[in-house]
């Protein structure tokens, strides 16, 4: 979340762009804790998108995650759940209106648009790998 907020401080005002920059920080940092935190945050957006698009696949996907990742996702969920009061709902509506008034027509839904940017980035890097067979693409801890 801090990488996202730092992107705003540096002039990237759109929520999906700030989230994408946090994802890029995760891919390129040498700090393991920062990498894990940013990738976990990005994973949350991916999981939400998959749950919306193909809900029948969601349970199997969750089962494929490590117990540590599942634990951390649950902890994050419980943390944010405490803000889902009537005040939290009102705050989200205010934020939605604020974003729409500031040229982000999707409002709070724009946060999740980061998945589109991550997919585009993945496709671009895969094309580079296909064009340069000796190169590699890093995905999380693995290399393709």
Asked whether residue 92 is assigned to any structural domain, the reply reads no
Asked whether residue 139 is assigned to any structural domain, the reply reads yes
pLDDT value at position 140?
Answer: 43
Candidates 109, 1, 89, 91; CA nearest to 48 is 109
Q: Is the pLDDT of residue 138 over 60?
A: no
pLDDT value at position 52?
Answer: 86
| CB-based burial, 106-136: b 16+ in 10 Å, e otherwise | ebbebbbbbbebbeeeeeebeeeeeeeeeee
Q: Which two tokens stand for residue 12?
A: 């990237």
**What does the pLDDT average to over 62-75?**
95
Asked whether residue 7 is assigned to any structural domain, the reply reads yes
Number of compact structural domains in the chain: 1
Asked whether residue 88 is assigned to any structural domain, the reply reads no
Q: Which residues constitute the domain of residue 51?
A: 2-78+111-143
Question: If pLDDT is split at 50, 70 and 90, which confidence band does 81 have?
Answer: confident
Asked whether residue 91 is assigned to any structural domain, the reply reads no
Asked whether residue 25 is assigned to any structural domain, the reply reads yes
For the four alpha carbons of 107, 108, 109 and 112, in that order, the dihedral sign comes to positive
Spatial distance between the Cα atoms of 104 and 81, rounded to a whole number of angstroms:
25
Question: If pLDDT is split at 50, 70 and 90, which confidence band does 113 have?
Answer: confident
This prediction's pTM? 0.71
**What does the pLDDT average to over 75-85?**
86
């Amino acid at each position: 979340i801090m990488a996202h907020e730092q992107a705003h401080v540096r002039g990237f005002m759109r929520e999906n762009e700030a989230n994408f920059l946090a994802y890029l920080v995760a891919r390129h940092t040498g700090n393991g804790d920062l990498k894990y935190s940013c990738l976990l945050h990005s994973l949350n957006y991916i999981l939400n998108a998959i749950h919306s698009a193909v809900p029948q696949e969601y349970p199997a996907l969750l089962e494929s995650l490590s117990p540590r990742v599942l634990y951390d996702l649950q902890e994050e969920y419980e943390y944010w759940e405490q803000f889902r009061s009537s005040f939290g709902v009102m705050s989200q509506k205010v934020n939605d209106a604020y974003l729409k008034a500031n040229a982000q027509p999707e409002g709070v839904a724009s946060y999740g648009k980061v998945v589109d940017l991550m997919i585009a980035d993945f496709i671009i890097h895969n094309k580079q790998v296909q064009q340069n067979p000796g190169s590699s693409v890093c995905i999380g801890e693995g290399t393709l």
